Structure 1
Amino acid sequence: MLSNANPKAISSKKPKARRLISRDHAKESQDDYVTQLLGITISAINVTKDLVPIALAKGILGTIANIFVLAQSVIKNKSDFLAIVNKCETIRKVLERATKDATEDDLRGSLGDALSDLNISVNRINSEIASKKEQGFWSRLFSVTIDHDRIVGWEKDLDRFLALFNTEAIAGIAFDMKIMKKMTSELKGKAADINVVTYCPPVPPPRPSMFYGRQDLVAELTNLVVNNEHIALIGPGGMGKSSLAKAILHESLITEKFTDRRFFVTYDGLDPSTITFETFMARFSGALGIEFAGADPVRQISTFLRSASALVVLDNAETFEEASGSSALGEIPPAIAEIADIPGVILIVTSRSRRNAPNVLWITKDIPPLDLSSAQAVFFQIYHHASRSDAEEDIKNLLGELEFHPLSINLLANAAQQNGWSPATLLKRWGKKGSKVLDPGKGKLQSLSDTMQLSLSSPSIQDLGEDGLHALTVIAFLPQGLNDTLASDLLPSLLQIDHVCDVLCRQSLVYRQDNFMKMLAPVRHYVRDSLPPPDPTCLQEICDFYYNTVQRCSKEQDADADIIISDHLNIEHVIAFDLAHIPEVTYHTCWKFLYCLQCHLPRPTTLAPATFNIVENSSTWTLKAHCLQCLAWLFDVLFQYTEVIKALHAAQALYLIADDHENVAICVTKYADIYRCQGRYTQSQQILQDFQHSESWEYLSTTMKAQIWYVLDLARLWAFTASADELFLNSLEDHTWGLPSKISHQAAKLYYGGDIVQVKMQLEDILPQCADSNDRLDALRILAEVAFLEGRLSDAMDILQTIVVMFEGHNPGQVLWYTVLKGVAASNQGNHDLARELIHKASGSHESLTLHSAFSFLHRSYGSAYIELTAGEHDRAESHFTATIEGCNIQGDPMSKSMSTRGLGEIAFARGDFTLAAERFAETEALCIEMGIPPQKLYNCGPFFALPERFNGWTLFLEGQSPFANIMC
């Protein structure tokens, strides 16, 4: 055991072990050196072979090059081969010197004899190595003893022939002394053109220690490289292009294929405006570990790279791609193309510019930002002042604002760590300083400003002049970016705007997406925080174009509507900007734009807070009220009733101050009707009855009064506070509200138990008169309810399908609503699979809505619960009813909540839990009373929502029959 060993004995073994390790390491290092030397010698021999004029000499040099190629791949103990390398390098120099300006006639003498003997010698060496290669095919090894003896023999042969050849060459045998003297005078300069001055084997940069979220991309790019594809990694500064290239260099497949011939050429720190072709090539050769003297560096580097497969990364390629010197622009791309054409040589460029060398088959990869998980990993690898679990939620939003840009995340984390900021303090600093937080140091890797200035100082950007900066600030100002198709219309003063956009895109300051020129968030933050605001002329041109488009827009789906749809966020932003500065000029465009959204793209809008926040005066009361009213109509389309009521109350107050009583009535009528739609029938009636005693009533037109009576009677209809014969009589004679009143009067008779046959006949007579789509919809809906109540379920579904067809393609909300009702009818037919399919289809149309509608969700969710309950799937039904109730609590909808609560009561009743069923039914009864509906008539005005008669727990509860007779709730 180690504890009983002799300490001296143990220690005495250590020096020997160290000596062995040191000896092995030294041998391995020498082998590596010889391998590199073989490669450089092969390159030099190939250059000389192209220069010598004698075919036999060319053949000898070619054979020697092949010997070295075989030696690289076959011989294990390469260090023993060093003498051969030195001998052959001497032969190369002698052949170049001795055959300069010689002709084939000169080979008749001693020079020819010497070359022939040398040719025999090198061919024998080549054959023996080739033979050994075949013998050692599987092991790929030689016997060390045999190799050593054989190599010593080769050395002696070469020494003998070299001595003879060199003596005869120097003596001038086979060509006259005049040529010899001329050769001697020119030798120094010409030989310097091809000689390697120094060679230092390069070491690739290490794999980045902080490298997250790129594994799939690294694997994809590695596979491309292994399959001999040239790659261009493109992206703005700080996206991690260089780190990605360094990671690829260290992938196992890459190291196996390219071994130590993995080169990283960086052009960082060079000024594109002054770079020359010589500077470019000097960096290139330096990264290869070689330094050539003389002219034609491309040829010399190409010769070096031809000796074996190589992977070359050209990092920060935008430096030379954007070089303004004419020589650089003319010479560098062809040089890259020539190198790319070398078999076995693969290029990777990292660049902010898309101006990659032509005539190279690049596979271009735009480097994406990190994903959320990787962005958080980077941040918390640096930041340690709070636990990840405590800070993650706040930091997640901040990282999202940076669009997960790697450099910005790194800078942000370092700033927070170095300053000891808590997450709350970091958020506060970001809110106050913006992108200035990302400038903790100097240099492109320590400052967002510096990396941005590097891009902005590109000669291509500088050549754009003021137009480039104007375009940048405009793109940063517009939330969607600049519409590429409309650029010249939006910015007519920038005559070369299309060219400007192309250059900005090539420099990765902007990118094209969905027909827009966009900016990555850190670039946008920098431009907004550090560059001047958008040029006033450019802003005015954008406003003029967008405002004129809005004013021309109508309900029709035309070219103007297409622009509203495509550029809606930009238009909204411009209007909000102007509302804060010149509201009087902007109000009209504001409410017209809200109308355009309502017609073509219903969605929430930032114009809501912008409108509410404007401080009005006497000259703007009505203008602001119009905007608030249009805002309410937009929210109404979205079924966001709380927001509708809020906007209408605000508008009503302004109209009242301005003595605009007609619009006061419109506001009051609308939110009273919303209360009715929510099931707040008592509240709706009270509002409209009170309004008839208000100061505004006497100023109203007869049509406005007819509308108020009509809406009041809708609420009374649902609450059963008047007989069917009394309802809708006051509005029946009005030219606007007469036809809707006739339809609703027939609905009242249906819901109140009148003659269903007469109702059907009256509605069929009215239907041809319905030119307005809303009137036709109401008539068809009631006819569908008639068919449903009569048990003609197929007819009901056909009528509902007619309604769906009416709205397909332009009103997905209505399509959803009536498709769900078709599902309810199908479930009553017993076709539950069809019912579910229809609900699924309704969900599809719902997803096509621009925004999730809470009201539509409640309708769909209740329909799903209804279908599952009738199918006997109580667990599924219970889940849907519960989800509906939760939505009702959020939305403030007691009607859907009451029906869903009743549904839960029926499930409890079916399970035999009568106490729970009684509790559910009691809740339902309370909700009916709150709404102002007699509990027994909960479903009278909504036949499609009533559960089939076999679900009789609710009826038994209301009648106090068993099993509820003795249950106290």
Structure 2
Amino acid sequence: MKWIRLRVPALEESAACEAFHAYYPSIETSILIKLLSALDFHPLSINLLAQAAIQNEWSPQNLITAWDHQRATLLEAGDGKSQSLAVTIETSLNSPSFLKLGETVHHLLQIIAFLPQGISKTHLTAIFPGVSNIESCADAFCRQSLAYLNGDFITLLGPICLYMSSHYNQDTSLLRGIQSYYATHIRESHIVIAEYVNIEHVLIHWLRNTEGDTQAILNVLMTASWFSYILWHYVPLSVSLYPAISALNVHNTHDIRSWRNFFMQAKKSKILLRNKSSCLFQLSYLMHFVGQMEEAKKAYKEAQILALEVGDLDLLASHHWILAIYDSIQGNFLAAEELLHTALGYCSGLSGVFRLSRVTKTRIKLQMIIINLIKGRPDTLQSLPTFKQKYKQYNLYWINFYAGYLALQNNYLDLAKKCFEEIQANGAKKCFEEIQANDDEDNPWRWIKSILLAESADLEGDYTKSQTLQAQVLEVIERRTD
């Protein structure tokens, strides 16, 4: 007799609620939808959950409490083998088609269950380059209806995910492969944007399981720093990394413990402290940007303490400078000025080893001039020639940009034209080429370029070109929904 495999699809939301209400009618639909969506509206799981509620004579509140505390257990209890989700899954895993694929089957299922988004089918071989049958295993899951494709991601139904997570140890060699893959590709914005939920989940697990290994700690802190940086610059989103990073113990690693290697251990300890400080600084900018203000303040304060602990005042001053730039962009100039003055204060009355680098001090001074120009202080224009001569070897693009506009506002047309001409002569071309490479209509730098060129054209008497550029900017702004 030839057997035919029938696929049992997930139910529609209304059909799933109707099926559950047939057994257990005394629960509000809005509450029920939340429960059943966690099961991906899987028919057998709906049946098992309803049967458990009836057999235990639970009220709706008792059912919710039981679900929160023992999800996987509720889906295992059936009247017979055919009614047990556990038996159904184990029967599939012990079938000849899976057994011939070896242990990779179990390991890959655990990884897919562990990752909230599932795993990218496109990058499957790149993630696990040493596993020759990885794609065969993934295909087998889909054929057996244990997994399905959600866009590019291979993912599991909620009940199967719950079962795998509660019955199998997730800490496999494949998990280390996932960590290595994300660490290697963390600077690639398209991967971070597509898989940020997975990456954050992996990072939190990794941060909690470094086991005191120095290299593992350095790798995860570096990866977390870049993750925060990419999100901040491309897709600012709320994150939950702070508790795990804060709890990471970088003072007591197991690599070196002998007196003979005391100085080497001290050096490594400083490196770890400095990396944790940098990671917390970077995370604080992201959280500040997305409105996680309390956690952002805690992370920034902790990062300051760590920087002071290792005596790295240059690191501390550099991050004051970065935060000052962010405050300036948001128009919070008083906070920005306070940060910059504090940063400069670190270089006074200190021993030579703790002094700020020339680069850091210059960055701070340049940003202070920019703030004065943005705030419209005309006296800044008087000292501008001397300042520009002193720092002529640095990129003065934004100094000239804001000085030009301040000069325009105060009717110093010659000075304004000179500033704009210097921009065009000393790097505007390169800046504009970079803008052109990212020719996104919503890119504010593209607008700045158009506005700057319009003002330059106006100063040169080319009013037609100036009006055309201004009209283009206005057209883009009017099309924006926000």
Determine if the TM-score, normalized by the shorter chain, exceeds 0.5.
yes
1:799-818 equivalent positions in 2, closer than 5 A:
799=469
Query: Cα gap change, 1:719/1:519 in structure 2, threshold over 3 Å: closer, same or farther?
Result: same
Contact 2:400–2:422, Cα closer than 8 Å, also in 1: no
Identify the match of residue 404 of structure 1 among 28, 38, 41: 41
1:212-227 equivalent positions in 2, closer than 5 A:
none
Residues 1:767 and 2:424 are matched in the alignment: yes
Query: Cα gap change, 1:566/1:683 in structure 2, threshold over 3 Å: closer, same or farther?
Result: closer
What is the letter of the counterpart of residue 145 of structure 2? S
1:282-321 equivalent positions in 2, closer than 5 A:
320-321=3-4
Give the structure 2 partner of residue 540 of structure 1: 176
SS of residue in 2 equivalent to 1:543: helix
For 2:65 and 2:203, locate their aligned partners in 1 and report how far apart those are by CA, in whole Å.
28
Give the structure 1 partner of residue 157 of structure 2: 520
Residues 1:627 and 2:279 are matched in the alignment: yes
What is the letter of the counterpart of residue 436 of structure 1? T
TM-score, normalised to structure 2, is 0.74
Give the structure 2 partner of residue 455 of structure 1: 92
For 1:796 and 1:664, locate their aligned partners in 2 and report how far apart those are by CA, in whole Å.
44
SS of residue in 2 equivalent to 1:518: strand
Identify the match of residue 703 of structure 1 among 353, 359, 366: 359
For 1:614 and 1:467, locate their aligned partners in 2 and report how far apart those are by CA, in whole Å.
31
Residues 1:742 and 2:400 are matched in the alignment: yes
Residues 1:651 and 2:284 are matched in the alignment: no
Query: Cα gap change, 1:527/1:672 in structure 2, threshold over 3 Å: closer, same or farther?
Result: same
How far the C-alpha of 1:744 sits from its partner, in A, is 2.4
Give the structure 2 partner of residue 676 of structure 1: 328
Contact 2:316–2:343, Cα closer than 8 Å, also in 1: no
SS of residue in 2 equivalent to 1:480: coil
Give the structure 1 partner of residue 79 of structure 2: 442
Contact 2:369–2:380, Cα closer than 8 Å, also in 1: no
For 2:157 and 2:470, locate their aligned partners in 1 and report how far apart those are by CA, in whole Å.
48
For 1:720 and 1:460, locate their aligned partners in 2 and report how far apart those are by CA, in whole Å.
74
SS of residue in 2 equivalent to 1:725: helix
What is the letter of the counterpart of residue 768 of structure 1? A
Residues 1:589 and 2:245 are matched in the alignment: no
How far the C-alpha of 1:561 sits from its partner, in A, is 6.3
Residues 1:686 and 2:338 are matched in the alignment: yes
| Deviations, residues 590-634 of structure 1 (Å, cap 9, x unaligned) | 324444556776655444553344345383321211222333455
How far the C-alpha of 1:533 sits from its partner, in A, is 1.5
For 1:790 and 1:395, locate their aligned partners in 2 and report how far apart those are by CA, in whole Å.
69
Give the structure 2 partner of residue 429 of structure 1: 66
Give the structure 2 partner of residue 578 of structure 1: 206
SS of residue in 2 equivalent to 1:451: helix
SS of residue in 2 equivalent to 1:439: coil
For 2:39 and 2:200, locate their aligned partners in 1 and report how far apart those are by CA, in whole Å.
23
Uncovered stretches (5+) of structure 1, i.e. residues with no partner: 1-276, 281-319, 322-349, 353-365, 554-559, 802-818, 824-834, 844-859, 861-969
Contact 1:648–1:671, Cα closer than 8 Å, also in 2: no
Contact 1:685–1:712, Cα closer than 8 Å, also in 2: yes
How far the C-alpha of 1:385 sits from its partner, in A, is 5.0
Q: Which structure has the larger Rg?
A: 1
What is the letter of the counterpart of residue 379 of structure 2? S
SS of residue in 2 equivalent to 1:512: strand
How far the C-alpha of 1:520 sits from its partner, in A, is 1.4
How far the C-alpha of 1:565 sits from its partner, in A, is 5.6
Query: Cα gap change, 1:410/1:795 in structure 2, threshold over 3 Å: closer, same or farther?
Result: farther
1:172-187 equivalent positions in 2, closer than 5 A:
none
Contact 1:379–1:410, Cα closer than 8 Å, also in 2: yes
For 1:701 and 1:594, locate their aligned partners in 2 and report how far apart those are by CA, in whole Å.
26
Give the structure 1 partner of residue 6 of structure 2: 351
Query: Cα gap change, 1:376/1:675 in structure 2, threshold over 3 Å: closer, same or farther?
Result: farther
Query: Cα gap change, 1:685/1:421 in structure 2, threshold over 3 Å: closer, same or farther?
Result: farther
Query: Cα gap change, 1:717/1:566 in structure 2, threshold over 3 Å: closer, same or farther?
Result: closer
Contact 1:385–1:421, Cα closer than 8 Å, also in 2: no
Uncovered stretches (5+) of structure 2, i.e. residues with no partner: 211-215, 253-268, 436-444
What is the letter of the counterpart of residue 208 of structure 2? A
Query: Cα gap change, 1:543/1:691 in structure 2, threshold over 3 Å: closer, same or farther?
Result: closer
Contact 1:625–1:650, Cα closer than 8 Å, also in 2: yes
Q: Which has the higher relative contact order, 1 or 2, with Cα contacts under 8 A spaced 6 or more apart?
A: 2
TM-score, normalised to structure 1, is 0.40
| Deviations, residues 843-874 of structure 1 (Å, cap 9, x unaligned) | 4xxxxxxxxxxxxxxxx3xxxxxxxxxxxxxx
CA-based RMSD? 4.0
Residues 1:665 and 2:293 are matched in the alignment: no
| Deviations, residues 272-310 of structure 1 (Å, cap 9, x unaligned) | xxxxx3xx7xxxxxxxxxxxxxxxxxxxxxxxxxxxxxx
What is the letter of the counterpart of residue 540 of structure 1? R
Query: Cα gap change, 1:421/1:669 in structure 2, threshold over 3 Å: closer, same or farther?
Result: farther
| Deviations, residues 885-906 of structure 1 (Å, cap 9, x unaligned) | xxxxxxxxxxxxxxxxxxxxxx
1:209-358 equivalent positions in 2, closer than 5 A:
277=1, 320-321=3-4, 351-352=6-7
SS of residue in 2 equivalent to 1:746: helix
Contact 1:661–1:700, Cα closer than 8 Å, also in 2: yes
Give the structure 2 partner of residue 483 of structure 1: 120
For 2:456 and 2:61, locate their aligned partners in 1 and report how far apart those are by CA, in whole Å.
62
SS of residue in 2 equivalent to 1:754: coil
How far the C-alpha of 1:479 sits from its partner, in A, is 2.9
Query: Cα gap change, 1:688/1:507 in structure 2, threshold over 3 Å: closer, same or farther?
Result: same
- In the alignment of these two chains, the number of paired residues is 438
Contact 1:480–1:570, Cα closer than 8 Å, also in 2: yes
Query: Cα gap change, 1:675/1:543 in structure 2, threshold over 3 Å: closer, same or farther?
Result: closer
For 1:683 and 1:565, locate their aligned partners in 2 and report how far apart those are by CA, in whole Å.
31
How far the C-alpha of 1:521 sits from its partner, in A, is 1.6
1:556-575 equivalent positions in 2, closer than 5 A:
567-575=195-203
For 1:658 and 1:528, locate their aligned partners in 2 and report how far apart those are by CA, in whole Å.
41
| Deviations, residues 77-108 of structure 1 (Å, cap 9, x unaligned) | xxxxxxxxxxxxxxxxxxxxxxxxxxxxxxxx
For 2:228 and 2:6, locate their aligned partners in 1 and report how far apart those are by CA, in whole Å.
44
Give the structure 2 partner of residue 712 of structure 1: 368
Query: Cα gap change, 1:645/1:791 in structure 2, threshold over 3 Å: closer, same or farther?
Result: farther
Query: Cα gap change, 1:660/1:483 in structure 2, threshold over 3 Å: closer, same or farther?
Result: same
For 1:756 and 1:412, locate their aligned partners in 2 and report how far apart those are by CA, in whole Å.
77
For 1:701 and 1:609, locate their aligned partners in 2 and report how far apart those are by CA, in whole Å.
32
| Deviations, residues 621-678 of structure 1 (Å, cap 9, x unaligned) | 2121122233345568x66684766644442332122211112112222323333333
For 1:499 and 1:663, locate their aligned partners in 2 and report how far apart those are by CA, in whole Å.
49
What is the letter of the counterpart of residue 584 of structure 1? I
Contact 2:147–2:155, Cα closer than 8 Å, also in 1: yes
Residues 1:509 and 2:146 are matched in the alignment: yes
What is the letter of the counterpart of residue 464 of structure 1? L
How far the C-alpha of 1:690 sits from its partner, in A, is 4.3
Query: Cα gap change, 1:471/1:641 in structure 2, threshold over 3 Å: closer, same or farther?
Result: closer
For 2:422 and 2:367, locate their aligned partners in 1 and report how far apart those are by CA, in whole Å.
24
Contact 2:128–2:134, Cα closer than 8 Å, also in 1: yes
1:364-443 equivalent positions in 2, closer than 5 A:
367-371=9-13, 373-380=14-21, 382-385=23-26, 387-388=28-29, 392=30, 394-443=31-80
Residues 1:839 and 2:478 are matched in the alignment: yes
Query: Cα gap change, 1:716/1:838 in structure 2, threshold over 3 Å: closer, same or farther?
Result: closer
Contact 2:16–2:46, Cα closer than 8 Å, also in 1: yes
SS of residue in 1 equivalent to 2:40: coil
